[in-house]
């Protein structure tokens, strides 16, 4: 009997809070109070991708990027889609010197993501993407310059068209590192996520020219 009275009083308090603040639906407050587990109260992004500032700082340092040139663009939503679509069974080479690098199956998937998520917000937009397996606590970025990553060029169409065009290729880290100093600005988003019980790190780096 005492428990019923307590629950009634508690629910009444929740209803009062909802009435006074009008900041959340009653059913969400009820689930929050009684442990119903409403998904709308979650702060997750739906993909399990957690941004890693440690990883981002390592990438910026490795490439020698001027931090003052970092701006917001479309790297985060693109990486969210990459993590969502990633298939560890088919996206990576698993033999020889290419072990762990993205393959043509990944390239086809990333082409679709790039066309869907990237827009012509800047002139001569360049986007680099990579995904690799790590240990759960490993967030350092120390890659071989010989490793290849996905690279997308987004620019206006030809002389008779303003339609944006995408051209994708593979780019070695060494070549990207040597040309990146001429970048006017960049957007970087990197983090870790889990698939099939393993931890993966991923990054999307977008560079553009303002002229």
pLDDT digits (tens, 9 = 90+) for 23-40: 444 333 223 223 333 332
Judge if 113 and 15 occupy the same domain: no
Read off the DSSP letter of residue 98: G
User: For 208-211, which contacts have Cβ atoms below 8 Å and span 24 or more sequence positions?
Assistant: 208/73, 208/121, 208/122, 208/123, 208/124, 208/125, 208/126, 208/183, 208/184, 209/122, 209/123, 209/124, 209/183, 209/184, 210/122, 210/123, 210/184, 210/185, 211/123, 211/184
Judge if 66 and 18 occupy the same domain: no
Judge if 55 and 27 occupy the same domain: no
Judge if 63 and 130 occupy the same domain: yes
Is the pTM here over 0.85, yes or no?
no
| Strand order from edge to edge, sheet including 198-209 | 50-51, 185-195, 198-209, 123-134, 148-155, 165-172
Tens of each residue's pLDDT in the chain, 211 residues: 544 444 454 445 544 444 444 444 433 322 322 333 333 223 334 568 999 999 999 999 999 998 889 999 999 999 999 999 999 999 998 765 566 899 999 999 999 999 999 988 887 889 999 999 887 666 677 778 889 999 999 886 655 556 778 899 999 999 999 888 777 899 999 999 999 889 999 999 999 876 5
Judge if 75 and 155 occupy the same domain: yes
Judge if 21 and 112 occupy the same domain: no
Rounded distance between C-alpha atoms, residue 17 and residue 27, angstroms = 12
Judge if 104 and 10 occupy the same domain: no
pLDDT at 122: 80
Residue span of the structural domain in which 29 resides: 2-41
Judge if 26 and 130 occupy the same domain: no
Judge if 102 and 13 occupy the same domain: no
Judge if 63 and 126 occupy the same domain: yes
Judge if 54 and 36 occupy the same domain: no
Read off the DSSP letter of residue 100: T
Beta pairing class for 198-209 and 50-51: unpaired
Task: Give the total number of structural domains in the chain.
Answer: 2
pLDDT digits (tens, 9 = 90+) for 162-202: 677 889 999 999 999 988 877 789 999 999 999 988 999 99
Judge if 153 and 86 occupy the same domain: yes
């Amino acid at each position: 009997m005492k428990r019923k009275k307590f629950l009634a009083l508690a629910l009444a308090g929740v209803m009062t809070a909802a009435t006074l603040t009008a900041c959340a639906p009653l059913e969400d407050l009820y689930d929050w109070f009684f442990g119903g587990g409403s998904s709308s109260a979650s702060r997750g992004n739906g993909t399990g991708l957690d941004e890693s500032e440690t990883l981002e700082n390592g990438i910026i340092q490795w490439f020698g990027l001027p931090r003052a040139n970092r701006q917001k663009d479309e790297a985060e939503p693109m990486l969210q889609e990459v993590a969502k679509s990633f298939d560890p069974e088919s996206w990576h080479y698993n033999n020889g010197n290419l072990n762990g690098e993205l393959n043509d199956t990944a390239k086809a998937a990333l082409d679709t993501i790039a066309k869907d998520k990237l827009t012509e917000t800047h002139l001569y937009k360049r986007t680099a993407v990579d995904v690799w397996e790590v240990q759960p606590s490993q967030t350092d970025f120390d890659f071989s310059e010989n490793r290849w990553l996905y690279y997308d060029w987004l620019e206006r169409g030809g002389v008779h068209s303003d339609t944006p065009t995408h051209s994708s290729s593979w780019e070695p880290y060494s070549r990207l590192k040597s040309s990146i100093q001429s970048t006017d600005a960049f957007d970087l988003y990197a983090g870790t996520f889990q698939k099939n019980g393993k931890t993966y790190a991923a990054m999307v780096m977008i560079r553009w020219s303002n002229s």
